[in-house]
A and B are shown apart, each in its own frame.
Chain A
Amino acid sequence: MYKYDAIDQQIVDERVKQYRDQTRRYLAGELSEDEFRPLRLQNGLYIQRHAPMLRIAVPYGMLSSEQLRKLGDIAKRYDRGYGHFSTRQNLQLNWPKLEDIPDILAELATVQMHAIQTSGNCIRNITTDQFASIAPDEVIDPRAMAEVMRQWSTFHPEFALLPRKFKIAVSGTKQDRAIVQAHDIGLEFYKDSNNQVAIKVWVGGGLGRTPILGTVIREHLEWQHALTYCEAIIRVYNMHGRRDNAYKARIKILVKALGIEEFKQQVEAEWAHIKDGPNTITEAELNRVAQHFEPMPYESLPAHDTSFDAAIASNPAFASWIKRCTHAHKQSGYRAVTLSLKPHGKPPGDISSEQMHVVADLADAYSFGELRASHEQNLILADVKLSDLFAVWEKARAAGLATPNIGLLTDMICCPGGDFCSLANAKSIPIAEAIQMQFDNLDYLHDIGDLELNISGCMNACGHHHVGHIGILGVDKDGSEWYQVTIGGKQGNDASIGSVIGPSFSAEEMPGVVQRLIEVYLKERTDEERFIDTVRRLGIAPFKAHVYAEKEAA
């Protein structure tokens, strides 16, 4: 993965110094609440229900074992001994003290980490596929470009105070796993007809209050122009995006208001001035960064391993973990492992300091000392030999990290919600836990099969509820907490936004509602059909009828 040079290190060190002084001035009353807010937000610090929340950047989800150990130590020393992986591949601490943040940042800087631009109205952490470089369907490893873009976006002076937050995702696979269509800008890398790396540029996607999937603004962009083209897009947005109404301030609203043709025309006009300018990426720079992402020193191994095959044959629990929690790898004899941060009955995405140390040790012993965080809020060991999988499983299981539920109903995405987040309409974690307990039967879960259930505590949609096969959104009705349910959302190349099935439900009703949705699916599905396929084939009517019939009868 990318290693800082003296320049990168100096920037994070200078940032710590700058933020330490900003905190000092705030505590001394020299900065008002309003003046400090964007400063702390651009450093990932929210003021939450109970305490500040600090969001630490994990650029495009890559972590070293050393970094994860440091995060574990920080969580222990400055927080309550655990952290929470978010849907933006970042790590959040829920209970740090505002006065301690500069010290936390100084500790992070020692392992080449920071909290820069993890919140606020600026370019946020750039996200990508958690299986970058190892996925069999990958065309281009997007990480070098993601790093080039991380550096470019860090303290970009022109885009320091945008109308609203700005999220960029990059993807280099046939099957999109980075939800490029749900980002302000999505860059989809591919090989063009001349076998050159090119980018399909999506713009104006986003979830939140007005969920919209992105539109293609340019089918073919040479990779050298990635930065200048993004600058042109963001410049048009910075000047014309709505600052008069926070709910209409995302770029998607501007793109919709102008229409894609007019927006594109303005962007292209702007780009004509800066195209081929100094921010045009050079081959040399891309190569310099790409050196950090060279393939791992893999052993050449056969596609089968006898001890592994034997363990699968004799141990059904291991076999079901392999089936759900490991993934095909480009390199023969290797698989990627997802360590589930979704044990039943615990807040999705949470991980204790001790678990962080266990995972770091696993990475060192079995996966070249590196890990990835996924936007599904799990951790990944990307490069594990078949012959090591059994040992990894045993150790992960002992640490509560081997629930074989990846991709299943209980592997849900869930935002921190009303327990922590001051913007929430309703709690989300207890709903997740109640549903997990309702479905706490692995055979039943496996029978239900692939299902994505996403929960957000309010329409800011941090839990991506719109693109969940089942989406749950916390809403406020006369001061009490209710939940609106959507079905038929999906991420990926054929992304869609879910449809609301009807009036919202109380917290107690929610496990039953999900249960009834599943009942319809199990009754109606044809062979090989996943929940989402059945919803797409039948529409929402039969689901709605069954859910509300029971409700009326009750």
Chain B
Amino acid sequence: MSNLIKNNAIVADEWTRVIPPSLGEEVVKKQAGKVVLFKLTGEPTYSPEQIAATQIPATGKILLPLTVWQANVAQLAGRMAAGEIAILIATHEPLESLAATFSDINELPLIAVFVERFPDGRIFTMGNLLRTRYGYKNELRAVGDVLRDQLFFLKRSGFSSFLIRADRSAEDALSSLQDFSQPYQGAVDEALPVWRRVNRSHA
């Protein structure tokens, strides 16, 4: 059963996510004895070795980490033209590098933002900037630790599809998209604040 929500429905996921292999021991970063939970903005996600060792399926629609795409632009140009490539960027990776990689990001049928841990609110600003700053119009998907209690905020920040974490029910999550019917402030989905949408002096 798919866990993908799109257009207020659960739909099949036609994209295969490509994940670079983990090579050797993962280094657990610690600070003051505590495991560091979030990567800083700008920290690399994969080593050059991991990127080189990534297996890219020969056919079908694939969702590639930005850095894997950057290392394989030449080989994959044809598939990009055929609409078979989508790009995944993590919340700590700079959007500027995504924008700099494509002359027109609307060439991409899908951009996915990967959130490793749900309390990482950078995902909201990234959705907002992709829509309002970079003018991205196609499917924008939240991937990773995506839970129903953040869906309403993700939707308002410009996301149009949501891959709910595998151990949770997407069916249950659907209703959270409608948590609030008349939000106060302007955001991506509804640019106008409530006072510009309705005449509140008579509400």
Contacts and interface: CB of A to CB of B under 8 A. Distances in A.
A493 interface: no
A35 interface: yes
A285 B203 CA distance: 13
Nearest to A154: B184
A160 B150 CA distance: 9
A contact face: mostly helix, strand, loop, or mixed: helix
Interface stretch (A6-14, A496-504, A508-516): A6-14
A311 interface: no
Interface stretch (B11-19, B62-70, B174-182): B174-182
A156 B185 contact: yes
A238 B122 contact: yes
Interface in B116-171: 118-122, 124-125, 128, 132-133, 147, 149-150, 152-157
Contact of A244 (B36, B119, B122): B36
A288 B153 contact: no
Contact of A278 (B37, B156, B183, B193): B193
Contact of B32 (A160, A245, A282): A245
A155 B191 contact: no
Interface stretch (B38-46, B51-59, B79-87, B98-106): B38-46
A159 B124 contact: yes
Contacts of B108: none
A273 B132 CA distance: 9
B198 interface: yes
A278 B192 contact: yes
A460 interface: no
A279 interface: yes
B150 to A, nearest CB: 7
B194 interface: yes
Nearest to B133: A273
Interface residues of B, number: 49
Contacts of A550: none
A240 B180 CA distance: 29
A10 B181 contact: yes
A405 interface: no
Contacts of A240: 41
Given A35-B149, A155-B184, A157-B156, A7 B194 contact: yes
Contacts of A153: 185
A7 B200 CA distance: 8
Contacts of B125: 158, 235, 238-239
A: interface residue count bin: 35 or more
B185 A282 contact: no
Contacts of A10: 181-182
B149 to A, nearest CB: 6
B149 A22 contact: yes
B31 A245 contact: yes
Contact of A239 (B122, B155, B193, B194): B122
B89 to A, nearest CB: 13
B186 interface: yes
A18 interface: yes
A408 interface: no
B67 to A, nearest CB: 19
B154 to A, nearest CB: 8
Contacts of B76: none
A239 to B, nearest CB: 5
B152 A157 contact: yes
A196 to B, nearest CB: 21
Given A39-B149, A158-B157, A7 B32 contact: no
A294 to B, nearest CB: 15
Interface string B188-203: 1001111110101101
B187 interface: yes
A238 B157 CA distance: 14
Interface in A124-145: none
Interface in A239-298: 239-240, 242-245, 247, 273, 277-279, 282, 284-285, 288
A89 B102 CA distance: 50
Interface string A33-70: 00100110000000000000000000000000000000
Contact of B203 (A7, A159, A278, A284): A7
| Interface core residue of A14, A155, A159 (most chain B CB under 10 Å) | A155
B192 A6 contact: no
A6 B199 CA distance: 12
A11 B184 contact: yes
A5 interface: yes
Given A238-B121, A239-B41, A157 B153 contact: yes
14 contacts: A10-B181, A39-B149, A151-B184, A151-B185, A157-B124, A157-B154, A157-B156, A157-B185, A157-B187, A158-B128, A161-B124, A244-B31, A245-B32, A279-B185
Q: A-B pairs with the 5 shortest C-beta distances? A: A161-B121, A157-B156, A243-B38, A157-B153, A278-B186
Given A5-B203, A6-B203, 11 more contacts: A14-B179, A14-B180, A152-B185, A154-B185, A155-B180, A157-B156, A157-B188, A159-B124, A238-B122, A277-B186, A282-B195
Interface of A: 5-7, 10-11, 14-15, 18, 22, 31, 35, 38-39, 121, 151-163, 227, 235, 238-240, 242-245, 247, 273, 277-279, 282, 284-285, 288
